[in-house]
Structure 1
Amino acid sequence: MSIITEKQENKKQVLTLNELSKRKVVEHNSLITSIAKMDKTPLKMFELAVSCINTEEPPKDNTVYLSKRDLFAFFKVSDNDKHSRFKQAVEKMQKQAFFQIKEEQGKGFKFKSIVPIPYVEWTDYNDEVKIEFHREIMPYLINLKKNFTQHALSDLAELNSKYSIILYRWLSMNYNQYEHYSYKGGRREEQVEAYRNPSINMQELRTMTDTISLYKTFKDFDRYILKNSLKEITEHTSFNVSYEKVKKGRSIDSIVFHIEKKRMADDNSYKLEDKTYQEAKAEKEANEEKLVYQAMKSPYTKLLLENFLLSPYEMTDPAIMAGLQKNVYPKYDKLKELRGLEGVKQHLSYIYGKQEPYSKKNISKYLKKAIEQYLPTVKIQDIENELKN
C-alpha cells in the first residue's frame, strides 16, 4: 500500500463534530486502574485520541488523525490564543505525562511506565493533527477480548478535574461489569450488586488518584478530591454517584460508592447484543421465572427436600431454584436414563452423608459439581459390566 493510500485509509478515523457525542472510549481495565501521571488536559487529549481507534480494524502504524477544529470544540477553546495553548498542552503531554501500570505476574507484580503519545504532528495551515500512540500502550487499547471498559467521550468532555476523570473511568469500569453480569449471569446477586456499589480502600484510592503526598488529612482529601469530583460526575455525566465512609478504628479505611445510571429518553449507549439494558434485564427475569416454575414442579426438588439437601427457606430464593433447574436437574435426567429414578435417590442419599458445611453457601454449585463427578463413574461401571457379560 502506498503512503498516500495508507494516509487516506487512516483519515477515515478523523473525528467529526457530529460524531463527538456518539464516540466511545474503550480501554483495558489495567489502564483504568493505573496511575495517570498527568493533569486533566493531557488526560482528556489521550481519551479523545483513544476514541478514534477502531478496535475491530486497529491502525497498523498506531496512528490516528484528529481535526483541530473538533479538538478545540471538545476542549471548548474559542479564544485567539488557542493554537499556542494547544502547542503547550502537547509539549506538556510528551514531556511530563505517562501511565504507571501495575500488573500481576507470577508471584509478584510487573510495573510499567509508558508515555502514551510520543509523537504529534500538525501544521499552522492545515486542520489535521496526526497522533501516534506508543507501541507499548496499544495492547491496552486494542486487545480487548476481556477485562475492558467502555465509556462515553461526551461525559469526559464536561469534566474539568483530573480526579473527576480518573474516578469516572473507575466507576464506569465497575458499572460496566454490573450491567454485563446482570444480563449474562455468572455471578451471585450480591456479587453483581457489589459492582454497582464498589468499595476501594483508601491506600488504593490515593494511589490511583496519585494523591499519596497530597491532601494528607482525610478531611482535605474528602473536600478537594471526593466531594468536588463526584459533584462534577453527577452534574455532567450519565451517572448519579454518592458515597459513604467506612471506618476501621478511628480512621477512614475505605470508601463505598453508590452508582445509579440516569434515565435518558434517547440513550442507546449501553446496548447489549442489540438489546437495551432494560430489555435484557426484563428478558433475564422472565427466563428466571420460567426456570423457577419448572424447578418447583420437578420431582428432583422433592427428592432434595427428602434428603435434607434443600430447605423450604432455600426454595423461596429464585436464584437457587433457577440454578438447580438450569445446571443440576438436566444432569439428574442423564443419571435417571442410566440408573433409573432409584439411582438418583441413591446418589442424593450418598451426597447427604458426605455433605460439607461449606456446601450450604451455594447448594446449586455443590450439587452440580457432585453429579458431574459421579456421572463419568456410572458410565465406566456400565461399560465394565457390558464387557463382563
Structure 2
Amino acid sequence: MSIIAEKQENQKQVLTLNELSKRKVVEHNSLITSIAKMDKTPLKMFELAVSCINTEEPPKDNTVYLSKRDLFAFFKVSDNDKHSRFKEAVEKMQKQAFFQIKEEAGKGFKFINIVPIPYVEWTDYNDEVLIRFSPEIIPYLINLKKNFTQHALSDLAELNSKYSLILYRWLSMNYSQYEHYSNKGGRRAEQVESYRNPSISVKELRIMTDTVNEYQRFTNFTKKILDIPLKEINDNTTFKVSYEKVKKGRSIDSIVFHIEKKRCADDNSYKLEDKTYQEAKAQKEESEKDLVFKAMESKYTKLLIENFLLSPYEMTDTALMAGLQKNVYPKYDELKTLRGLEGVKKHLSYVREKQEPYSKGNIAKYLKKAIEQYLPTVKRQDIENE
C-alpha cells in the first residue's frame, strides 16, 4: 500500500482552485537571496508546495499534499501531454534542483547546498501528489520569527521565466521591509527609502541569477535579466518596477531598482507580524490622520502656500500632507532652531525661485531634498562663525 493510501485524513493539506488566489508563500530571506539552481518550472513547483505550509502548525513528517488538477491549473496546462510533462518536471526538480545558501559564520561565510524536495509520490489513478521537504530546508520555511518575507502565490503563477521569479522574490523581500519599517519605525528615513529603492551590485545579481558565466555582453545581460523579467513583473504582479544603472569608472557597477505598489482592493504582500494585517492597516491609517491634522495646523503649510509651493487643491491629498508633516516639517524645525522663522521663510523663498518644473510631480520629495541639502550648509556656517 502506498504512503498516500496510508496517510491520515487530518494530515491533508490539499490546495483547491478557489484558494489559489489567497495562498501566500513565506520564506526566510536567506532562501530568497540564495542561488536557485533550477529552471522556472521546478522553482514554481517549489513555491506552490511552500504555499501549503501552515507556519503555525508545521506539516507532520515535512509532508504536504497537492492536487494534480490544481497543479495543472497553476501552471495553466491543458493539453493532452500534461501528465508526461508533469512527470518530467518532477524528475528534473529532484535530479537537478537545489538551493545554494550563503550565511555568515564566525569570521567568514558558510555555504550550504540543499535539495529542497527529495521525495514525491503520486499514482496514475489518484488526483493527489505527496511532496516531502528535506529536513534541512524546513527551518527556512517555518522558523520565521525575523528576516522573512511573504508574497502572493497568485503573482508567482503569472511569471513564466526563472529570472522573473528570482527578481520578484528579491524585490518583494525589499519592499516588505519598506512596509514593515514604514509602519513600525526603527530605521532612519533614508534607510526606509533604501528598501523601496534597493541597490544590488552587478556581481551579486549575476550570482543570485546564476549567470556568472552567461550573457557576458552587458547588453544581453540587461535584456535577459532586467528588461524582459521586469516587463513581466510589471504586467502581471502587484509591483511596478523601474531601474537605473550606476557606473563606477567606465563600467556599470550596480543596479538601483525603484519599486511602487499598484493600488488594488486586496493587498497580497503583507508580512506575518505579531499583529494582524487588519490591525496594522488600521494603525497606519490612524497615524496618517494624525499627521494630516498636524500638517493642516502647521505654520509651515501656510508658508508653503504663501510661496506658491503648495496649492489648496494639493492640501486635499492626505498622503502628500502626511509626508510633509513626517519628512519635511521636522527639518524646518531644525532650521528654525538655527536661523529662526525668518530663516525658514528665506529658504522657502529661495526654493520657490529655483523650483524646477519636474518638482510639481512630487513636491514633498522636492522640498525634502532641498532642506536636506541646505541644513548641512547652515550648520557648517555656524561652526565657522564660532
User: Post-superposition shift, 1:153?
Assistant: 0.3
Partner residue, 1:10: 11
Is residue 166 from structure 1 mapped to residue 166 from structure 2 by the alignment?
A: yes
Question: Any idea what SS the aligned residue of 2:244 has?
Answer: strand
User: Post-superposition shift, 1:218?
Assistant: 1.3
Once residues 321 and 58 of structure 1 are traced to their aligned partners in structure 2, the CA distance between those partners, rounded to angstroms, is: 51
Contact 2:150 2:269 in 1 (8 A): no
Partner residue, 2:313: none
Q: Letter of the aligned partner of 2:175 in structure 1?
A: Y
Is residue 318 from structure 1 mapped to residue 330 from structure 2 by the alignment?
A: yes
Contact 1:239 1:259 in 2 (8 A): yes
User: Post-superposition shift, 1:8?
Assistant: 1.3
Once residues 99 and 318 of structure 1 are traced to their aligned partners in structure 2, the CA distance between those partners, rounded to angstroms, is: 46
Q: How does 1:25-36 map to 2 (within 5 A)?
A: 25-36=25-36
Contact 1:100 1:111 in 2 (8 A): yes
Relative to structure 1, the CA distance from residue 268 to residue 224 in structure 2 (aligned partners, 3 Å threshold; closer, same or farther) is closer
Contact 1:292 1:318 in 2 (8 A): no
Question: Any idea what SS the aligned residue of 2:61 has?
Answer: coil
CA RMSD, Structure 1 to Structure 2 (Å): 2.9
Selected match of 2:276 from 262, 269, 273: 273
Partner residue, 1:116: 116
Relative to structure 1, the CA distance from residue 280 to residue 112 in structure 2 (aligned partners, 3 Å threshold; closer, same or farther) is same
User: Post-superposition shift, 1:7?
Assistant: 2.7
Once residues 266 and 241 of structure 2 are traced to their aligned partners in structure 1, the CA distance between those partners, rounded to angstroms, is: 21
Q: Deviations over 1:136-187 (max 9, x none)?
A: 0000000000000000000000101000000000000000000000000011
Question: Any idea what SS the aligned residue of 1:25 has?
Answer: strand
Partner residue, 1:347: none
Partner residue, 2:47: 47
Partner residue, 1:38: 38
User: Post-superposition shift, 1:10?
Assistant: 2.0
Report percent identity of matched pairs. Answer: 76
Contact 1:268 1:276 in 2 (8 A): no
Over alpha carbons, which structure has the higher Rg? 1
Partner residue, 1:126: 126
Relative to structure 1, the CA distance from residue 152 to residue 108 in structure 2 (aligned partners, 3 Å threshold; closer, same or farther) is same
User: Post-superposition shift, 1:279?
Assistant: 4.4
Q: Please list every run of 5 or more consecutive structure 2 residues that lacks an aligned counterpart in the other structure.
A: 300-326, 335-374, 377-386
Contact 1:28 1:144 in 2 (8 A): yes
Which segment is superposed worse, 146-155 or 260-269? 260-269
Equivalent residues, number: 304
Relative to structure 1, the CA distance from residue 259 to residue 278 in structure 2 (aligned partners, 3 Å threshold; closer, same or farther) is farther
Q: Letter of the aligned partner of 1:136 in structure 2?
A: E
Once residues 328 and 14 of structure 2 are traced to their aligned partners in structure 1, the CA distance between those partners, rounded to angstroms, is: 55
Is residue 176 from structure 1 mapped to residue 179 from structure 2 by the alignment?
A: no
Once residues 4 and 72 of structure 1 are traced to their aligned partners in structure 2, the CA distance between those partners, rounded to angstroms, is: 22
Relative to structure 1, the CA distance from residue 251 to residue 277 in structure 2 (aligned partners, 3 Å threshold; closer, same or farther) is farther
Partner residue, 1:302: none
Q: Letter of the aligned partner of 1:282 in structure 2?
A: E
Q: Letter of the aligned partner of 1:270 in structure 2?
A: Y
Contact 2:11 2:60 in 1 (8 A): no
Relative to structure 1, the CA distance from residue 292 to residue 134 in structure 2 (aligned partners, 3 Å threshold; closer, same or farther) is same
Question: Any idea what SS the aligned residue of 1:275 has?
Answer: helix
Once residues 110 and 153 of structure 1 are traced to their aligned partners in structure 2, the CA distance between those partners, rounded to angstroms, is: 30
* TM-score for both structures, normalised by structure 1: 0.73
Contact 1:26 1:50 in 2 (8 A): yes
Question: Any idea what SS the aligned residue of 1:15 has?
Answer: coil
Partner residue, 2:379: none
Q: Deviations over 1:190-221 (max 9, x none)?
A: 11111000000111000000000000121110
Question: Any idea what SS the aligned residue of 1:172 has?
Answer: helix
Contact 1:116 1:137 in 2 (8 A): yes
Once residues 62 and 134 of structure 1 are traced to their aligned partners in structure 2, the CA distance between those partners, rounded to angstroms, is: 7
Q: Letter of the aligned partner of 1:10 in structure 2?
A: Q
Once residues 288 and 180 of structure 1 are traced to their aligned partners in structure 2, the CA distance between those partners, rounded to angstroms, is: 18
Q: Letter of the aligned partner of 1:318 in structure 2?
A: P
Partner residue, 1:342: none
Q: How does 1:178-327 map to 2 (within 5 A)?
A: 178-267=178-267, 270=270, 273-275=276-278, 279-286=282-289, 317-318=329-330
